[in-house]
């Protein structure tokens, strides 16, 4: 079970650029401190969600440098990929328990960043110990299982950086699915480098999601 860590003292961190960035091309980034906003404040997740609701035409995150990130659209096919992944995960969850999450969910990492996965899952006991405010807004800590799917607007390097951010934040198992190369990068807690699978037919949830098998070839690679 992943515990939700409290935020450490704020580090001095410059905005990420180039290969260090986890943001997709076309993302808009705004420095929150320039607006007098402390993204590490205790009440920031609630204020952030209120802001997202008031501006629901846009998908937003907050990165590790304290920038509000307005994300580009993933496109219709990218949305289908995410929907298929979230659907299969939710079917498994109904039988095996826990809480699954989709792209509109947000998690607050130890750096203070608020990130959204394409799909994710946490154990039931972890959800039960979350505060009512977390359940209504942002769950503290990375999901135990997390998925990112490369869309038409994504470059691979930023997605790899984002997956590493998830793992550094406490995720135990992660899949980075790249439909363009028909390749999957499998990230595991304590494993320095991801395992690379070339054109796999299925993906295994291992000991994090026992019995979960996702037909990545059918639902993503071969999806017309």
The predicted-structure confidence for 126-153, as pLDDT tens digits, reads as follows: 999 999 999 999 999 999 999 999 988 7
Angle (nearest 5°) at CA 69 between 66 and 75: 160
Cα–Cα distance measured from residue 197 to residue 203, given in angstroms and rounded to the nearest whole number: 9
Is residue 217 packed enough to be buried (19+ CB in 10 Å), middle (13-18) or exposed (0-12)? middle
The pLDDT value given to residue 16: 47
Residue 69 predicted with pLDDT over 80: yes
pLDDT at 88 over 70: yes
pLDDT given at position 48: 94
Q: What is the mean pLDDT of residues 4-26?
A: 57
pLDDT grade for 9, boundaries at 50, 70 and 90: very low
Give the DSSP letter of residue 6.
Answer: P
pLDDT for residue 192 is more than 70: yes
Model pLDDT, residue 153: 79
Cα-Cα-Cα-Cα dihedral of 49, 105, 81, 124, to 10°? -170
pLDDT, tens digit (0-9, with 9 covering 90-100), for 166-191: 999 999 999 999 999 999 999 999 99
In this predicted structure, what is the pLDDT of residue 7? Answer: 52
User: Can you give the pLDDT at residue 222?
Assistant: 95
Q: Using CA of residue 131, residue 112, residue 175, residue 216, what is the dihedral sign?
A: positive
The pLDDT, as a whole number, for residue 154 is 87
Claim: this prediction has a pTM higher than 0.85? yes
- The share of the chain scoring above pLDDT 70, in percent, equals 92
The answer to whether residue 215 scores a pLDDT higher than 50 is yes
13, pLDDT greater than 70:
no
Res. 2: pLDDT tops 70: no
Least confident among 43-47, 73-77, 135-139, 160-164: 73-77
Mean pLDDT to the nearest integer, 18-46 = 89
What per-residue confidence (pLDDT) applies to 98?
A: 97
Return the structure tokens found at 130.
């979350």
- Residue 205: the pLDDT is 97
Q: Which residues contact residue 59 at a Cβ distance below 8 angstroms, ignoring those fewer than 6 apart?
A: 70, 71, 73, 103, 104, 116
Predicted local distance difference test score (pLDDT) of residue 14: 42
Residue 30 reports pLDDT greater than 70: yes
């Amino acid at each position: 079970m992943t515990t939700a860590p409290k935020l450490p003292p704020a580090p001095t961190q410059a905005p990420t650029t180039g290969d260090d960035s986890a943001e997709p091309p076309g993302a808009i980034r705004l420095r929150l401190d320039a607006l007098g906003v402390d993204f590490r404040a205790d009440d920031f997740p609630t204020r952030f969600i209120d802001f997202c609701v008031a501006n629901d035409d846009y998908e937003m995150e907050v990165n590790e440098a304290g920038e509000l990130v307005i994300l580009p659209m993933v496109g219709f096919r990218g949305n289908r990929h995410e929907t298929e992944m979230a659907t299969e995960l939710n079917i498994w969850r109904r039988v095996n328990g826990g809480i699954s999450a989709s792209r509109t969910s947000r998690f607050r990492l130890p750096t203070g960043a608020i990130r959204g996965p394409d799909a994710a899952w946490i154990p039931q006991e972890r959800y039960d110990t979350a505060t009512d405010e977390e359940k209504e807004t942002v769950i503290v800590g990375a999901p135990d299982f997390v998925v990112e799917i490369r869309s038409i607007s994504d470059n691979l390097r930023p997605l790899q950086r984002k997956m590493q951010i998830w793992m550094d934040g406490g995720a135990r198992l992660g899949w980075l699915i790249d439909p363009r190369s028909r390749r999957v990068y499998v990230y595991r807690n304590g494993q320095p480098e991801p395992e690379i699978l070339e054109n796999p037919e299925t993906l295994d949830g291992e000991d994090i999601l026992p019995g979960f098998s996702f037909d990545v070839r059918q639902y993503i690679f071969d999806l017309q």
